[in-house]
Amino acid sequence: MQKTVAVLGGGIGGLSACYHLSKSSQISKIVLLEGDGRFGGWLRSTRREDGAVFEHGPRAIRPAGAVGRNTLNMVEDLGLESEVLPVTHGHASSKNRYLYVGGQLHKMPSGLGGVLRTVPPFTRPLVQSVLREILISKGKEEDESIHSFVSRRLGTELADIAIDSLCRGVFAGDSRRLSVRSCLPILYKAEKARGSIVLGMLLGSGPEPDVPTSALAKRASQENWAQWSLKTGLQNLSEALEERMKDVRSVELHRDSPVKGLRMTGNTWEIKLEDGTIKADHIIAALPAKALASALPSAAQPLSQQLREISTVTVAVVNLEYEGSVLPVTGFGHLLPSSEDRGVLGVVYDSVPFPQHNRNGGPTTRLTVMMGGAWFQEVFGNPEEVTEQLFVERATQAVSSHLGITTPPVWSTATINKDCIPQYYLGHWKRLEIMRKYIKDHNMPITLAGASYDGVSVNDVIFSGRTASESLVGKV
C-alpha cells in the first residue's frame, strides 16, 4: 500500500499521528496541515530570558498506565530523557491538594488517617462512604452524569464538593452535565464489571492496551513518579516532534495552512487550502470537532451535525510571579467547587512541583489561576469582549483572598484559551458510535483523532494519534 495521508491539525494529536505514521514504510507521503503559525496547539510555554518558564496550557503529564507509558516511550525515542523533570509520589505537590470551601483552604484527605478521620469540609469520615459504596446496587443507565453517579454511589457531599471541584480541575466543566462513561471510564467500568468502584479498583475491571515499557518508563515506575514536565516547558515536546518530522523524507509540514474545505472525488480527498488544493488517499483529522464539521462536504451533513454537538469551554489562564516564597501552604494547588465561586476554577502552585522553572537567582513563587470554563459566559460574558487586564485583576484578588498573598505580583500575563477543552456530555459515547458507524458505512477514508473524542489529557491525545496511525498501517 503506497498512500498519501493528510493529517489535519498540528496540535500534539496531529504531531503524534505523523510521528507514528512516519515509522511505517507503507505510507509514501504524509502531509501535516496546521492552520496556525506554529505547531503544538494548546502546548504553549513562555520562556523568559532570565530562565523562568510559564505554561499557558498543560503543565504536567502523568506517567501512569498504558497511555502514560506510551508518552514516555515517545519522549525517550525523541532523546528528551535528560530534559524530563520528574515529581515523585512522595513530593509535597503529589501529596497535598487543597479545596477552597467556605472561605478557607482544606487539605484533601489522603493516606489512611485522612480516610478514617472526619476531615473538613466533609462532615463524616471518607471510610463510611467507601464501605457503604460496596453495598450499593449497580446502576441500570447506559450513561449518567458524573455528579449523579457519585451522589448515588458515594453520597451527595462528596459529589457536591470533591467531584464538582475535580471536574473543574480536569475538564473545566460541570459535573452535572459531564458523562461518567466518557470522562471517567475507569469508574464506569468498575461499576459495570464489579458492581462497585471500590471493588473495581481493588480487583481491576478490564485489560489495558498493550504498550511496551521503555527504559524511561521503567525508570518512572521504579522511581515512583507521579507527574513530569520538561526543563523548557511542555512546548518542548511538540517542538521535538516537529524537529523529528523535519528529518523524515516522507513528511511535509505546512503551517499557516488552514483547511478550508474537503471534497471526495472517487476515492481521493481534495483538501482546499487558502492558496490551492492538496490530494490525499486518507485523512487523519486531529482538528477540534467543530473545525472538522465546517470543512466536511455537505454530503457528509449527518457526520458534521454530530461533530458540531461536541461542545467546548473557554479557560482564562493567568500566570503570576511573586518575589520570594510567599505561599502559606505547600502542594499542587487548590480547586474551588462551583458553589464557592463559579468564575474561579482553581490555582496551581507551579513553583512547588517545578521550582526549576523559576527565574535564575533569588526565590520566586509562580502561580497559575484558571478561570471560566463551563461558567465563562455566565460570569465574564463574551470571550471576544473581555480584556486580559480584567483576568489579571480577578486572579490577583483571588490569590489575595484565598492565600493571603497581598503583595502585587512582579510579573503577570493572561491568555484567553478559546474553546480549549472539549466537554464529553451525557451520551458522548453514543455520538462516537454513530460517527464511526457513519464513516464505516460510507467507506469514508477518514480517522478521527485528538481531544474531541477519547480523552483530553496529553497522554490520551498522543495515544489517539497512535491509534489512528495503527488503524491505517498496523503496529510498527
Ligand X SMILES: Cc1cc2nc3c(=O)[nH]c(=O)nc-3n(C[C@H](O)[C@H](O)[C@H](O)COP(=O)(O)OP(=O)(O)OC[C@H]3O[C@@H](n4cnc5c(N)ncnc54)[C@H](O)[C@@H]3O)c2cc1C
Ligand Y SMILES: C=Cc1c2[nH]c(c1C)Cc1[nH]c(c(CCC(=O)O)c1C)Cc1[nH]c(c(C)c1CCC(=O)O)Cc1[nH]c(c(C)c1C=C)C2
Instruction: Read off the C-alpha cell for 334.
Output: 487548590
For residue 265 the three cell numbers come to 472525488
Residue 185 binding result from ligand X, ligand Y, none, given CB thresholds of 5 to 8 Å by partner type: none
240 is an interface residue for ligand X by CB under 6 A? no
- Answer yes or no: are the C-beta atoms of 262 and 6 closer than 8 Å: no
Q: Which does 240 bind (CB under 5 to 8 A by kind): ligand X, ligand Y, none?
A: none
Q: Which stretch binds ligand X (CB under 6 A): 78-86, 93-101, 374-382, 415-423?
A: 415-423
Considering beta carbons, is residue 24 or 73 the nearer one to ligand Y? 73
Q: Can residue 287 be called a binding residue for ligand X (CB under 6 A)? A: yes
Q: What angle do CA 350, 353, 357 make, to 5 degrees?
A: 60
Q: Among ligand X, ligand Y, none, what binds residue 332 when CB lies within 5 to 8 Å by partner kind?
A: ligand Y
Candidate residues 27, 461, 468, 472; the one interacting with ligand X per rule CB under 6 A = 461
**Least distance in Å: CB of 166 to ligand Y?**
5
Q: Which residues have a Cβ under 8 Å from the Cβ of 84 and sit 6 or more positions away?
A: 75, 216, 228, 229, 230, 231
Binding partner selected for residue 420 from ligand X, ligand Y, none, CB under the kind-specific 5 to 8 Å limit: ligand X
Could you say which of ligand X, ligand Y, none residue 271 binds, taking C-beta under 5 to 8 angstroms by partner kind? none
The reply on whether position 307 binds ligand X by CB under 6 A is no
Give CA angle at 300 (297, 306), nearest 5°: 120
Site for ligand Y in 62-91 (CB under 6 A): 62
**Could you give phi then psi for residue 393, rounded to 5 degrees?**
-65, -45
Measured in whole angstroms, the distance separating CA 164 from the mean position of its chain's CA atoms is 17
Q: Identify the residue among 20, 44, 69, 97 touching ligand Y (CB under 6 A).
A: 97
Q: Is the CB of residue 365 less than 8 Å from the CB of residue 327?
A: yes
Q: CB under 5 to 8 A by kind: which of ligand Y, ligand X, none does 405 bind?
A: none
Nearer of residues 337 and 372 to ligand X, judged by Cβ: 372
Q: Is 332 among the residues that bind ligand Y (CB under 6 A)? A: yes
Asked if 170 is part of the footprint of ligand Y (rule: CB under 6 A), the reply reads yes
Q: In sequence order, what are the beta bridge partners of 422?
A: 312
- Rounded CA-CA distance 257/285 in Å is 14
User: Is residue 346 near ligand Y by the rule CB under 6 A?
Assistant: yes
CB nearer to ligand Y: pick between 105 and 248: 105
CA-to-CA distance for 311 and 134, rounded, in angstroms? 34
Q: Let me know if 41 is exposed, middle or buried by CB neighbors in 10 A (0-12, 13-18, 19+).
A: buried
Nearer to ligand X (CB atom), residue 151 or residue 338:
338
Helix (H) or strand (E) segment spanning residue 31:
strand 27-33
Query: Is residue 265 within 8 Å of residue 128, measured between CB atoms?
Result: no
43: contact with ligand X by CB under 6 A = yes
Q: How far apart are CA 296 and CA 303, in angstroms?
A: 8
Please check whether residue 333 is in contact with residue 346, taking contact to mean a CB–CB distance below 8 angstroms.
Answer: yes
Please, what's the b/e burial string for 207-222 (b: 16 or more CB within 10 A of its CB; e: otherwise)?
eeeebeebebbebbee
Residue 378 CB neighbours (<10 A): 10
Residues 172-201 that bind ligand Y (CB under 6 A): 172
Closest separation in Å from C-beta 455 to ligand Y: 7
The residues in 370-429 that bind ligand Y, with binding defined as CB under 6 A, are: 370
DSSP 299: G
9 binds ligand X (CB under 6 A): yes
Confirm or reject binding of residue 345 to ligand Y (CB under 6 A).
yes
How many binding residues for ligand X (CB under 6 A)?
Answer: 38
Which region, left, alpha or beta, applies to residue 460 given φ > 0 means left and ψ of -120 to 50 means alpha? alpha
The answer to whether 6 and 269 are in contact (CB under 8 A) is yes
- What does the block give as the cell for 35? 492552520
User: Binding residue for ligand X (CB under 6 A) from 317, 371, 386, 416?
Assistant: 317
Which residue lies nearer to ligand Y by CB, 31 or 166?
166
Task: Return the residue of 24, 52, 59, 409 that touches ligand X, per CB under 6 A.
Answer: 59
Q: Does 19 bind ligand X (CB under 6 A)?
A: no
Near ligand X by CB under 6 A, which window of 10-18, 129-137, 152-160, 350-358?
10-18
Per-residue binder mask for ligand Y (CB under 6 A), 23-62, x = binder: ---------------------------------------x
Q: Which of 54, 95, 27 is nearest to 368 (CA)?
A: 54
Nearest to 409 by CA among 320, 292, 316, 317: 320
Question: Which one of ligand X, ligand Y, none interacts with residue 8, CB within 5 to 8 A by kind?
Answer: ligand X
By CB under 6 A, residue 11 contacts ligand X: yes
Binding site for ligand X (CB under 6 A): 8-14, 33-36, 41-43, 57-61, 258-259, 286-288, 291, 295, 315, 317, 417, 420-421, 450-451, 456-459, 461
Binding site for ligand Y (CB under 6 A): 62, 97, 166, 168-170, 172, 315, 332-335, 345-348, 370, 456-457
